Every structure is written in C-alpha cells, then in structure tokens.
Structure 1
Amino acid sequence: MTDRADDGGRSREERRAEAVRVLESNRRDGYTIPSATLYPFQWNWDSAFVALGLADVDPAAARREVETLLSATWPNGLLPQIVFWADAEGYFPGPDEWDAGVEDIETSGISQPPVVATAARRVYEVTGDDDFRDRVVEPLDAHLSWWRRERSTDGVVYTRHPWETGMDDSPAWRGPLERFDPGHVAYERADRKSAALADQRPTDWDYDRYVALLQQGRAADWDESVLRETCPFRVEDVLTNSVYVRACEDLAALYASGDDAAAADRWREQAAETRATMRGRLWSDDLGLFVSYDRVAGEQLLEPTVAGLVPVFGGVPTVGQFERLHETLTTDFLDFTYAVPTYVGEAFDPDRYWRGPVWMNTNWLLERGLRRYDATEAADRIRADSLALCDRGGFREYFNPRSGAGRGSDDFAWSAALYLAWTGDSQS
C-alpha cells in the first residue's frame, strides 16, 4: 500500500482514518446509513459494500452489518431494498407508502442486487468465524432461492422497479418506462435537498412512474404471482444478474467451507445456468457488451452502461465475449480523465446521477471482475482513478468523470468503505 500524499497533503493512512470516521459517523444501532443528508435508513446493497470495507478494519461491525440486514428477510426470502429501523417522518416514500415488511420491521416492497452474499463470504474469510457463517447461510440461501423461484424461469432473474436495480435513472430504463402510462399520482418528493442536487436527480417524469409502480405493488400486497403477470416494468437487469451469479458462487463457497457439498454443488450449478443464459440473451455483439432485456416487450435494451461491463464480476463472458467487452471498455469507457462513467451514450451527462458520473460501487464490481480475467492494466487504472477521486474530492456519492468533481451527498458510506477495501493489504 502506497503512503503517498493526496492533493490535500494527507497521507493514505490519514485518508483511511477519515474513511473510518465517515463510517462511524454514519453508523446506527447495528447498521450504517448511506448518507445522513439523503438516505437515513439501512439500504440493502449499501450495507453489503459497507461490510466489504469494514471486514479488515472492524470485523465485528462488518459481521453485525450483514446480520442486521439479513434479519429483515421476509418469510418468502425477499431481502428488502430499505429497512426502516428509525422514524421515517418526512421521508418519501416511507413505510406508510410501502405498507410492507415482516412482523414489526417496516421495509420497502422490493429488493436490490444481492451483494450481501459476496460481503458475507468476505467477512467469513477474513474472520474465520464459523458461527457467523452458520448464522448467515440459511437467510442467504432463502434470499437467493427467492430470486430463482419468484423472479426467474430459466436462470436469469428479473427486476420490477428501477429502484430495485440500484441504477435508478439509467437511460436503459427509458423504453420500459415510456411503455406505460402512470396516470395521476399524488406525492411530494423529498429527495431534493438543494437546487444543485435537484439538477442531478431523476426527473418528475421518472418519479411519476417510480411511484406508480410502488402503488401497484402495494395494491397487490406485494404478491409476486400477481405482479409477474401485471407489472409493466419487468426487466432482466444485467447488473443484478451479474451480482446474482457471483452471489451463487459465494454462497456455494460458504457451504463448501462448512462441508455441505450438496448445497455447494446446487449453487454452483445455479451460477452456471444463469451464466449460460446471460451469454445468449443479454449479449450484444453490436455494442460489444452485455445489456439488459425487457421481458414485456421481448427485446434487448441497447444502451451502453457500465452495467454491461459488470458481468466480469460473475465470470460470465466467454473468451470471445471478453475480448470484445475489453475493447469496448478501453475505447468507450476509459477515454475519460477518470474511469468509469456509468453511461457513454447519447444522453450522457457527467453530473446526472446514473447517466454519466463515476460511482465507487460499480467501479469496485468492475475492477474485481477484470482481475478474474487477468485484465490487470484496466483493473489497476480503475482502482487508481477511484482512489484519486476520493483523495481529491472526499467520499462523495459520485464524481464527474471529466473534472473529478464530487457530486451528490457528502460522506457517502460505500465510497468510504470501498476506499478501505481498495487500500487494505489484502485488497491491494
């Protein structure tokens, strides 16, 4: 680990200490909020990235982060996108709008990419805590089984809300959202804390559809058997599937470490099935990357987003596909001052949420995946740029890929956590 000074004159160790302080400031009773200014509850994949960063630094906190999240698993295996552990007055959409949860735990009614399995494996490998492993395998199994049972017919899983993908206002969702009329939806947005932030967030056009999808799910009492037939947004999101493949691998590894060979084989077979389907239906040779698939319209969503590169995280691309994908990465996504923009198509906007800025979590998924394919030069570039952005701008929510300017919320938890993961000895 290099102990160089950043642009503010701070050493790498001083910046790591600052990252720890951000996480401690954002920590609540057993979980870490993404941001005090905008996201004051527990978010699913945010907590997973936090646990990944804490594994080497504060293993006890990392274990608790994972277990607190898993404690909100529904009886059917859904692991919610948001868990409302605290008072949600003034937040929209809050628990009253979702009307969802289990027993006395209020949650949203959708999920998010299952990074939690990868985080649990990482925490276990760092700590060697067999008791932790034995506590988490059952809820992890229940959750990944939920994806397979409720959201798949042939191994590839689908999402039914843009929020569920994590990349809320990706240009890839424009087509599916245009294909339905949300009607009149009454609500008051609470996600715009300043004029500058408002310009970076999804539009009212998008939010009308987000809220309409939420209201439809609530009206169906979150019954997947109803929603799989009626929900107008049913998208096989390439990022969610990439993370799902890796999650199946990681759950298999946890089972194998506990000598449950049958369960390990079952989840390895699931990973192989999903990979095989992705290689066919979600690959675009024209774009040279993977894309999402609209189940309603029966067509690929041909937008060049960073999600189309993330299948390397699950070992999805064939040798030939990876050669094309690596060319696309180098030509289209690395041709910026800072890698990797989340989108490089016609609607590119370097400051607008998931339409161009660099996010640390997608950078981490891509960087880790590239190393599976021995693409060391590209992986090193992404890691170096990610650290430089945080060194220059602090732990912001996202960054302009041209100027490096930080955007969105300050003191963003997964930016701090992944900085720790990248600069820790075992992640270097």
Structure 2
Amino acid sequence: MEVMSGAERDRLADSGEMTSPWRLWGPYLAARQWGTVREDYSADGNAWGYFSFDHARDRAYRWGEDGIAGVCDRHGFLNLAVALWNGRDPILKERYFGLSNGEGNHGEDVKEHWWVLDGTPTHSYMKVLYRYPQAEFPYADLRRLAAEAGRDGREPELSDTGVLADNRFFDVTVTYAKAAPDDLCVEVTATNQGPADARLDLLPQLWFRNTWSWGRDARRPALIAATDKGWTRVVAEHSLIGRYTLHASGHPTMLVTDNETDEIGLFGRGRNPSRYTKAGIDDHVVRGAADSCQVVEPGAASQPGTKAAAWYHFDAVAPGESVTVRLRLIRGDGHGRAFGSTFGSTMDLRRAEADEFHGGPPVTQRDLVRRRALAGLMWTKQVYRFRLRHWLEGDPANPPAPAQRLGPGARNVHWRHLDVADVLSMPDEWEYPWFAAWDLAFHMVPFASIDPAFAKDQLLLMCREWMMHPDGQLPAYEWEFGDVNPPVHAWAALQVYHAEDTPDRTFLARVFHKLLLNFSWWVNRKDPEGNYLFEGGFLGMDNIGPVNRSEPLPAGWRFEQSDATSWMATYALHLMRMALELARHDEAYEDVATKFVEHFLSIAGVSARFGSASRGIWDERDGFCYDLVSRPHGDGTVESLPVRVRSMVGLIPLLATAVLEPWVFDELPRFAARLNYLLHHQPEFGQFIGWRTEPDGRRRALLSLLDDDKLHRVLTRMFDEREFLSPHGIRSMSAAHRDGLTVEIAGRTHWVGYEPGESRTPMFGGNSNWRGPVWFPTNALLVQALHTVDTFHGDAFTVELPTGSGRRVTLGEAAGELSGRLASLFLPGPDGRRPADGKRVESGDSPLWSEHVTFSEYFDGDTGEGLGATHQTGWTALVAVLLAGWPVNG
C-alpha cells in the first residue's frame, strides 16, 4: 500500500512522534467552531442556538478557533487564515457559512465551495482553493430557500441563488510550503473568473486563541504590528510557543484588535474587556468605523493586541487577472529577506517533493481522484481541546453553569475524566468538526498508506485514559460521548499493523490491551440478558430502522440487533487475530486467543437459534438476517419476533469471518488443541468452521457467522440490482422496499421505505440517511470480507453477479467489481460526468467546476449523486486505497 518516496519520506521517518518539529504546524484550524457542543453553555443543550454563525463575528470562542484555508500550531494557540471582502457583503468573509440543524431542510449544511488540492503528511506542502462570490453573499436567501424546501426537497446550494452565474467569483488559492518546521511560506492568489472588473480586499489574519478571559489562566499573549520602508510585519509572543514573526509582502495597511467578545454590541450589557473587540477589523473595513481597531501608520508600530490583519485592497481586478500576496511566518524575529529567492525556491521544491511522494503528478483521472482524496484526508486534522470537567462546571470568570448541565440525563455528565488537547482526524471540516470514534477508525486505513505513525497514534489516542471511559467505553462523538458506535477499532488496528513492511507489535499489543477493556464493556452493557445477542442502539446507522433504536421500546420489549450481534462476532474475531499475531512472539497471548474464538462461537451459535421459536437473527424463510424484538415471559420462555426490513443490518453478518492460516496450527499447538476440544464436545459449532487441506497436508480453517449455504442466500440478495446492488456500490436498504412496508414492533405499527437520496425523516438530525444510499465505510468492509472468504475458497465458491445474469464470478472477482463500482462515483462516465456530481453545479460543462472532485458523506442509491456533508474526505477517502488495490492483507 505504501507509496512514499524521497524527501517527504525522510521527513516522516524523522517525525514518528506527533510532537516532532515537522508536525508542529498544519491545517489544524477548524473550518467551524460555532454551533459545537464545546461552545454550548446553555441550559437546554441547544448548541446551534447558543452559539450561532451570527455570533461568531463578535464573540470569542472558548475551546478553539475557525477560519478559511487556515493553519495553526498543534496546540491551537496561534492561528493564520484568510479573510476577504468583495465590497458588498455585510460582514467580512472570515469563516464558511452554513445552515444550522434547525435551518437546513436536511440538517446542517455548509453553503460554500472549496477544495483541498494537494498536501503531504508533514504538511510541508498544502494547497487549498476557495471560491468567493463577487456579488453580496446571499445569507438570507439561503436560509429562506432551505425553509421553503421542506423535508422532501433537495438541499438548496449556493448556486441556486444565482450568485455564481457567469462565473462571477474569485478563485482564491492558498498555498503553504515549509522552508523549515517553523518557517512557513504562504502565497495567496485570487483570480477573477468573471466577465467584468471586480473589487477585492484580501486580509490575511494572525491571531491568538483566547485563553485569558475565562479565569483559569491570566497569561496574555501579545502581537504587535509594525511597518517601515522595507517591510511590514507582525511579531507575536506567547509564553508557551515563543515568538513568531509574520512578514507581509508589499505595503498593506496593518490593522490590530483584540480577540475579545463585544459584550456591549452583542448582548447590550456590562462593559467590554478591551477597547477593541473581535469584530474590530470587520467594523473598520466593512463599516468604515475609524476607532474600532488600531490602524498602524507607516513607520510606526501598534500597541499590543491579540488579532491582526494585513489589509490588501484591489479596486478593480480585471477578468482573468490574478493578484497575489505573500506571507512568511517564522519563529523568532524573522529576517529582512523573507521574500527573497528562498521563498520561490521553497515553493517549487515542496511542490516537486509532493509529486515525488505521491508517485508523480496525476496523469489519469484515477491518479487525480486518489491524490485529491488523500489531500482532503490530511486536511481533516484539527486541534481538539476539551476539558469536560471545566465545561460542565463553567469558568470562574463567567456566570455559574446552569444547574441543568449537571443534572440527571445532562449531556456528557458521566464523562468528567475526558481531557483532550490533541490533533484529531475529524469526519468533515464543517459539518462534523469533532471526532467520531468509528469515523476515525476508517480514516486510519488510507492514512496508513501515507502516514502510518499518525494512524497508529490516533488509534492509540482513542484508547488512552483521558479518552476511554474508566468502564472501558470508547467515546462515541461530541454530541453524546456515551452513545455507541460500531466496534471497528480492532479492525482498523489490524489494517494499520499490516500496512507497514515491518509490523509494529508494540503498537498492536498496546491497542489490544485497551480493547480487552472495551470488549468487556460491550459484553457487560450491551448484552444485558447474557444471551450473546446484543443491543447497541443506532450504531452509527442513524435512521436505518423503522424506529429509533437508541430509544427504549414499550415496557418488557427490547431489541436484539442483527448488526450489534454481528459487530460483536466480528470484534471477537479481530481480537482473536490480534492475539494470535502476538502469540507468535509471546505464548502468554495464546490463551487469550482461545477466549475470543470461544466467544465468537457462542455468539454464532445463539445468533442461529434463540427464544421460544428457536429463532436467531437468521431468518430461514427469507434467507436473510433481521433485528429481533423480544420479551421474556414468566414461565421462562422468550418471545422473539423478526423486524423484516432488509437493510444493511442484515448484511453486517457477512463481516464476521476470519481465516486461520496453517501457521496457526503449526506454531500455536495449545490454541489448536482447544479448538479441537470445542468441536469434539460441542459439535454444533462445526457449522461455523470450514476446513480445507492444502496440497502439503497442512490445514486451514474459515470461521464465519454464515455457513456456505446462508452466505449464498445473502449474497444472492446483496448482488441483486433490484435489491442491494446499485451501479455504485451496495445500498444501505433494499430497493425492494421502494413502495414502503409496514412492520409491527412491540405491538405498534411503523412504516419504512427505501429512500435513495436525502433523508425524509428528522431522526438523528435528518442530515444523514441510511435507508437506501451507498455508504463507503460499510461497503469497504464488505469488499474486505469478500476477499477474506475468497482466500479460503478460491474458485470453489462462485456467485451470480448480478443476480439473475447467469454470470458467475469468484468472491475475489466480486470484491474487485464492487471496488470498481465505488470508485466509479468519482470517475467520468460515458457522458464525461462524474456520477457523484449528480445535478449539482460541479456537473456542468465548465472546467472551472468539473476539474474539482467533491467527496461527499454518502451517495444516492440510484444515481450515485453525493449527498450530506460535502467535505467528507474522512471515510470516503477509502476510495484512495480501493484505487490502490486494497485490501492487500485481508
């Protein structure tokens, strides 16, 4: 999988620790900080309402910062980003605009266009393009259109307002190249793509995150802007990261203010902590306020502040013309030749090294998609700071926290130990600017192909004592750390482990020890009846069920979930594989491996038979797996009824498969003996283990939740184009449910139907839909499961693909075709258009749009159009490894 070569590889080799110098600066600045749980100090938990986009201009953030195409140090203290003004907007364009959950007709949604064009893992080179309208940004129109659209309407986009017509926008390209770990060369180029002259103001901004206003740390950093005949600069001094100097090319007007809340203007109360506030630069540029910030005269210096801008004004940029400003951020006092020959040579060298690292410049569309996916993935890294105890209690300098924040049922009240100050990979720059455990696990597979040290660090970080709950639970996501994501951490650790030429057994052991705690948490909390059938709630698949599976059923009834049970069977097999690998070098792990194979067999056995009707998650009538609802009776019997909705919850059992290679039986005799003992004394387990004798007489085994007959029957449905198989992957719900169906759950009737596109229900915010679209994470797991079974059966096991076509293929060939269908989302089809572009503006004929690949959260189950979050180069970046031929080590 590895493609690394040259100078960037050498930098990575010297940067195994996340505190290494080359990792100090990166794209760690969030694209959105407002509307997050961290900034919500309300009594009702309405994060969107408590800190809105409209407040972000005037109000200091508590836990982070945001900006456009920006960078910061890994601690999040000093930030550099680009602000713009077209002379018409009511506010500076300092951050991306989008709708909050209550404003969007399909949940929260960003209403801007930007693309990450290139990057390297140490962030020695980064390039981002932001598209800025020349007309007034239509904030009100976008809110109105979303309100009018309703749940059944498409999400309105920026192009729907007409503001981008005739290409009346600036393409603003921001390029970063490090001359040294703490020496950043920055070039900002704005190109007028429209038909007429247009005004533009560029305002690169440097500022400190506010750490001094909360009553917990009185130390106050300072920056001073100064100009002279030969240079313009800002000197920033911080007690922890030291002194940095930002040089600005040319002769911009230097503006200085403070990153402080405008208490008077925003709330009409009290007094402001500083004469100048966060919006001081905005007020001066947009409103012409003379005394809202410091304006540095030529040859003079400002008084200390905490936010500064270099204001470049271009009165009339001609059509096709580009304007460029250069910046250089250097540790220390800088130097007088910041924009000498070394600036240009650094840009050229780092660009060439990026090409070298990725195996050369993109030649084919496949090359382009892979490189853009990896570039976007690297840009998902953000500083995540959150000391939950302080958040729950409130800060000394602020009013006391509302009592509701600490009461029963309050958000995250049982996670007081959580104390994070790290760079984490986020699901999406804007819509999900906070970690989610299972998203992060999937991210690490493509990360392992370019930066295995970071991949290992992230997986270990989620298991550390300041993240993992003392009871063993992994934190799910910011909105509710105590919710449950599918247990894919062990799977991801195995992928990362096998991605390196020299496997890191210490890493594997560290993850394994922590996951022992997590597995026990699942067994103790999500199998309350002790019957090996598991609950779990929504398990990351939001609205896939007819009802919200995270909410309790009427008294006496409970869910026994096909996906939760299958995830746990899969989890047991992954931990077994980890233990077997470790046992090759330490026999103490051999006994642990037997524990997990026994746990897998116990889950498998019960999943096939359960309750008064001897019913498991497998349904013999339909040849498929379903959730169950069950309730015990006083006579000791258990009533269980299937929820006969064919969805991804019934395909997850396919993932519970593992091959025991001959070395296991050769090198680990105690494990082999215990397995033989189990099969002798509990022969019913034999249906879950297949055996094959190699030509040399050595044996291999296949552990699988589904035997060959059940596997055939499930795959017949999965590869049926009338059901799960779409032109671009496996749907999350069978298209056989297009007309909908009613099901009875716990005595109540519910309706559910196939919805290939955006969600029509508000469940889990309504911004995600698992009732028909194609999702990359589960599809990638299915690809690997098919490969795994194929390594055991080979040509002896074939399936029809598509079902009913008469064309039979091996499971390896089926996996390859599924990978191809997924990749085809981003590759031009016969009509020259990418299916993922759908009906969006990117699908037009203009190369200004069509040359850019957008990686969405999920994809329409019929057309392939990208939906949901539009910068989901987190798990959708799995396309990069699929294009490279993954899985290599299934």
Q: Return the offset for 1:149.
A: 2.1
- TM-aligned CA distance change 1:234 to 1:390, over 3 Å: farther
Tell whether the 8 Å contact from 2:563 to 2:650 is kept in structure 1 after alignment: yes
Q: Return the offset for 1:309.
A: 1.6
> Of 563, 582, 602, which aligns to 1:273?
602
Query: Is residue 372 of structure 1 aligned with residue 788 of structure 2?
Result: yes
> Of 5, 11, 25, which aligns to 2:379?
25
Aligned to 2:729: 339
Q: Return the offset for 1:30.
A: 3.5
Aligned to 2:652: 310
Aligned to 1:320: 709
Q: Return the offset for 1:358.
A: 0.5
Aligned to 2:301: none
- TM-aligned CA distance change 1:233 to 1:20, over 3 Å: farther
Query: Is residue 421 of structure 1 aligned with residue 881 of structure 2?
Result: yes
- TM-aligned CA distance change 1:117 to 1:176, over 3 Å: closer
Aligned to 1:216: none
- TM-aligned CA distance change 1:233 to 1:147, over 3 Å: farther
Aligned to 2:468: 73
Q: Return the offset for 1:385.
A: 1.1
Describe the superposition over 1:359-409 as per-residue Cα deviations: whole angstroms up to 9, x where unpaired.
111111222222333323432232111111133323211111221111111
Q: Provide the rounded CA distance (Å) in 2 between the counterparts of 1:237 and 1:48.
A: 22
TM-score, structure 1 normalization: 0.75
Tell whether the 8 Å contact from 2:533 to 2:561 is kept in structure 1 after alignment: no
- TM-aligned CA distance change 1:144 to 1:175, over 3 Å: closer
Tell whether the 8 Å contact from 1:246 to 1:313 is kept in structure 2 after alignment: yes
TM-score, structure 2 normalization: 0.37
Q: Secondary structure at the match of 2:642?
A: strand
> Of 387, 396, 413, which aligns to 2:856?
396
Q: Provide the rounded CA distance (Å) in 1 between the counterparts of 2:458 and 2:723.
A: 33
Q: Provide the rounded CA distance (Å) in 1 between the counterparts of 2:756 and 2:629.
A: 26
Aligned to 2:521: 146
Give the AA of the match of 1:243.
W
- TM-aligned CA distance change 1:270 to 1:414, over 3 Å: farther
Aligned to 2:793: none
Aligned to 2:547: 173
Query: Is residue 358 of structure 1 aligned with residue 760 of structure 2?
Result: no
Give the AA of the match of 2:618.
W
* Match runs of 1:167-206 below 5 Å: 167-173=541-547, 179-180=553-554
Aligned to 1:47: 440
Higher RCO, 1 vs 2 (CA within 8 Å, ≥6 residues apart): 1
Aligned to 2:482: 109
Give the AA of the match of 2:575.
L
Tell whether the 8 Å contact from 2:459 to 2:489 is kept in structure 1 after alignment: yes
When you count helix as a share of all residues, which structure comes out higher?
A: 1
Describe the superposition over 1:3-51 as per-residue Cα deviations: whole angstroms up to 9, x where unpaired.
xxxxx99532221111111111111243211112221111011011111
Q: Secondary structure at the match of 2:628?
A: strand
Q: Provide the rounded CA distance (Å) in 2 between the counterparts of 1:271 and 1:263.
A: 13
Q: Return the offset for 1:62.
A: 0.8
Q: Which of the two has higher C-alpha Rg?
A: 2
- TM-aligned CA distance change 1:300 to 1:377, over 3 Å: same
Q: Secondary structure at the match of 1:139?
A: helix
Q: Provide the rounded CA distance (Å) in 2 between the counterparts of 1:19 and 1:155.
A: 39
Aligned to 1:104: none
* Match runs of 1:170-319 below 5 Å: 170-173=544-547, 179-180=553-554, 234-259=558-583, 260-280=589-609, 281-296=616-631, 298-314=640-656, 315-319=704-708
Aligned to 1:211: none
Give the AA of the match of 2:754.
F
Tell whether the 8 Å contact from 2:576 to 2:593 is kept in structure 1 after alignment: yes
Tell whether the 8 Å contact from 1:30 to 1:68 is kept in structure 2 after alignment: no
Tell whether the 8 Å contact from 1:396 to 1:410 is kept in structure 2 after alignment: yes
Q: Return the offset for 1:415.
A: 3.6
Q: Secondary structure at the match of 1:74?
A: coil
Give the AA of the match of 2:571.
A
Q: Provide the rounded CA distance (Å) in 2 between the counterparts of 1:171 and 1:50.
A: 26
- TM-aligned CA distance change 1:311 to 1:378, over 3 Å: same
Aligned to 1:329: 718
Q: Provide the rounded CA distance (Å) in 2 between the counterparts of 1:300 and 1:388.
A: 36
Q: Provide the rounded CA distance (Å) in 2 between the counterparts of 1:61 and 1:176.
A: 33
Q: Provide the rounded CA distance (Å) in 2 between the counterparts of 1:144 and 1:27.
A: 28
Q: Provide the rounded CA distance (Å) in 1 between the counterparts of 2:788 and 2:546.
A: 26
Larger mean Cα displacement after TM superposition, 362-371 or 352-361: 362-371
> Of 361, 365, 369, which aligns to 1:15?
369
- TM-aligned CA distance change 1:236 to 1:48, over 3 Å: farther
Q: Secondary structure at the match of 1:235?
A: strand
Identity %: 23
Q: Provide the rounded CA distance (Å) in 2 between the counterparts of 1:11 and 1:336.
A: 22
Describe the superposition over 1:276-298 as per-residue Cα deviations: whole angstroms up to 9, x where unpaired.
22233101123321111224573
Aligned to 2:865: 405
Q: Secondary structure at the match of 1:298?
A: strand
Tell whether the 8 Å contact from 1:359 to 1:398 is kept in structure 2 after alignment: yes
Q: Secondary structure at the match of 1:362?
A: helix
Q: Secondary structure at the match of 1:299?
A: strand
Q: Secondary structure at the match of 1:31?
A: strand
Tell whether the 8 Å contact from 1:158 to 1:235 is kept in structure 2 after alignment: yes
Aligned residues: 347
> Of 152, 156, 162, which aligns to 2:533?
156
Give the AA of the match of 2:496.
V
Tell whether the 8 Å contact from 1:177 to 1:233 is kept in structure 2 after alignment: no
- TM-aligned CA distance change 1:15 to 1:131, over 3 Å: same
Q: Provide the rounded CA distance (Å) in 2 between the counterparts of 1:39 and 1:291.
A: 30
Tell whether the 8 Å contact from 2:786 to 2:812 is kept in structure 1 after alignment: yes
Q: Return the offset for 1:302.
A: 1.1
Q: Provide the rounded CA distance (Å) in 2 between the counterparts of 1:174 and 1:131.
A: 40
> Of 56, 59, 65, which aligns to 2:449?
56
Larger mean Cα displacement after TM superposition, 270-279 or 396-405: 270-279
Q: Provide the rounded CA distance (Å) in 1 between the counterparts of 2:364 and 2:523.
A: 47
Tell whether the 8 Å contact from 1:284 to 1:290 is kept in structure 2 after alignment: yes
- TM-aligned CA distance change 1:177 to 1:142, over 3 Å: closer
Q: Provide the rounded CA distance (Å) in 2 between the counterparts of 1:302 and 1:51.
A: 34
Q: Secondary structure at the match of 1:73?
A: coil
Describe the superposition over 1:147-168 as per-residue Cα deviations: whole angstroms up to 9, x where unpaired.
1122221222211x32xx1111
Q: Provide the rounded CA distance (Å) in 2 between the counterparts of 1:325 and 1:380.
A: 18
Tell whether the 8 Å contact from 2:857 to 2:876 is kept in structure 1 after alignment: no
Q: Provide the rounded CA distance (Å) in 2 between the counterparts of 1:404 and 1:123.
A: 29
Unaligned runs of 5+ in 1: 2-7, 85-93, 99-107, 181-229
Tell whether the 8 Å contact from 2:369 to 2:880 is kept in structure 1 after alignment: no
Describe the superposition over 1:240-275 as per-residue Cα deviations: whole angstroms up to 9, x where unpaired.
332322221121222222221011111111112112
Aligned to 1:349: 755
Give the AA of the match of 1:14.
L
